Amino acid sequence: MNRHWNVAGVSLSLTLVVCAGAQVSATFDFIPNAVSANDLTPNGRYVLGSLDSDGDFFPDDGYRWDRWTNTLTVIESQAIATGGDAAAALSDDGSIIVGQIPETSVEEFSNEAAMWTDAGGWVGLGWLPNAGVCPSRSDAYEVSADGSVVVGLSWDGCLGRGFCWTEATGMQELENLANGGNRASICSADGSVIAGFAQGNFNRTPAVWNGDTLEGTLLDPSGDAEGEWHGMSDDGQILLGTLYMGDGDGAFDAVKWTAAGGVEVIGAGSLIGGWGGNAFDIADNGTIVGFDFLLGNRRAWIQPNGTGPLVPLKDYITSHGGSVPTGLNLEVAQAISADGRVIIGHTAFQGAWIVTLDFGCNQADFAEPWGVLDFFDVQAYLNAFSGGNHLADLNGDSVLNFFDVQSFLATFANGCN
């Protein structure tokens, strides 16, 4: 296949090059002074979490790390230590952060859901009527891609209620499902799909709400199902979470749900037999990350391309050339970028970490199918270049210019090694 076109006045003629095969390479790094990594923008640019400023391994202020410019912004935490995240989630461009601050009425020792921007700092989003201090008035858990929709939890006395907030409507209560105890934990990129849990007959039970109508549905209308939704695809078509499937060991399984296929167990449901599996995030290529849980212990895992068994994330890293400190358990795999190249997570009392994966056969292999150099790689590179993505800086001088494009074209022409 040949394609011909002009870029910046330079005539290009590129021929498809089939490589010997794409080699995945992995690197592992700690995020300095970070105790958690809570959210990652889909393009892998911004990481959000909490910092340990005094060395006690407990969260102090929040942070937003721009990986492309290696700039770390400290998000001053005003929140009272009630167990919520001062910096919980961020918009796709990294400009809007949601979490919690002390309630603005200053009448009680409690927090309220809040939004942070560079220009305005923290602004409270309020709470639902009759919200008790349990221990907060409200908590924000997720924000839509453009920052216009915030979802979370508020209270009726001390009974949880899910909420959806927009600037136009303020905080609105989502339909109260099952036996109350509702929480909106996640939402789709456009805010139209909201998911989390309600209090079922035996345990938490998975719940979904329509972001436009605020109406909700349970996975099991009877409320008997035990589990919750932890994550979803950006379009809201795939839900990820944990569900008790009735196994004899009593453990919960990592699951995904689609309208067409219903509930599907991911891999064997857990990495370790008898542990509870939890699926948290999914990349565009189907790769899923999550972790197992048992009595306070956690083990991070990955399911490459969304097929086959769950693989210990630590083993996946080391088998692809990465180095993880001896004795370190990777506990929580929190999020993965849309292209599957960046994974963030954290380990209790050890810190937050980041894993970067390179699937290409060389620097010019920018897009799937990996191991093939074609038009899609050129298109992906030019998009990265025009978007200021540091991955387009092929000569490593921290400046995106003609020499990077020249380097890309030369690497493309040479094919795979």
162 three-state secondary structure:
strand
Q: Quick one: 27-358 is in which CATH superfamily?
A: YVTN repeat-like/Quinoprotein amine dehydrogenase (2.130.10.10)
306 closest CA partner among 340, 279, 254, 266: 266
**Residue 14 confidence class, pLDDT cut points 50, 70, 90:** very low
- Weakest mean pLDDT among 44-58, 75-89, 190-204, 304-318: 75-89
Residues paired with 241 in a beta bridge: 229, 255
For the cut 80, the answer to whether the pLDDT of residue 13 exceeds it is no
Helix count and strand count (H, E) for the chain: 3, 32
Angle subtended by helix axes 402-414 and 375-386, to nearest 10: 160
pTM exceeds 0.75, yes or no: yes
- Mean pLDDT in residue range 391-401: 85
DSSP class per residue in 263-291:
EEE-TTSSSSTTSEEEEEEE-TT--EEEE
Tokens for 171?
A: 């905080």
For the cut 50, the answer to whether the pLDDT of residue 15 exceeds it is no
User: What b-and-e string marks burial along 335-365, b requiring 16 or more CB atoms within 10 Å of the CB?
Assistant: bbbbbbbbbbbbbeebbbbbbbbbbbbbbbb
User: What average pLDDT does the chain have?
Assistant: 90
**Residue 183 confidence class, pLDDT cut points 50, 70, 90:** very high
Q: Residue ranges of the domains in the chain?
A: 27-358, 375-414
Report the distance separating Cα 47 and Cα 90, nearest Å.
Answer: 9
- Model confidence pLDDT, tens digit, residues 231-248: 999 999 999 999 999 988
Q: Which of 15-24, 73-82, 390-399 has the highest mean pLDDT?
A: 390-399
Contact 242, 255 (CB under 8 A): yes
- Model confidence pLDDT, tens digit, residues 291-308: 999 999 999 999 999 999
Q: Residue 84's pLDDT is what?
A: 53
- Weakest mean pLDDT among 17-26, 38-47, 128-137, 382-391: 17-26
Residue with tokens 């020249």: 406
208 closest CA partner among 146, 227, 166: 227
Report the distance separating Cα 257 and Cα 371, nearest Å.
Answer: 31
- Mean pLDDT in residue range 375-399: 87
DSSP conformational letter for 415: -
Tokens for 379?
A: 């298109």
- Mean pLDDT in residue range 201-219: 98
Q: Residue 58's pLDDT is what?
A: 79
For the cut 60, the answer to whether the pLDDT of residue 1 exceeds it is no
How far, in Å, are 181, 196, 372 from residue 204 at the CA level?
8, 9, 46
Report the distance separating Cα 270 and Cα 328, nearest Å.
Answer: 20
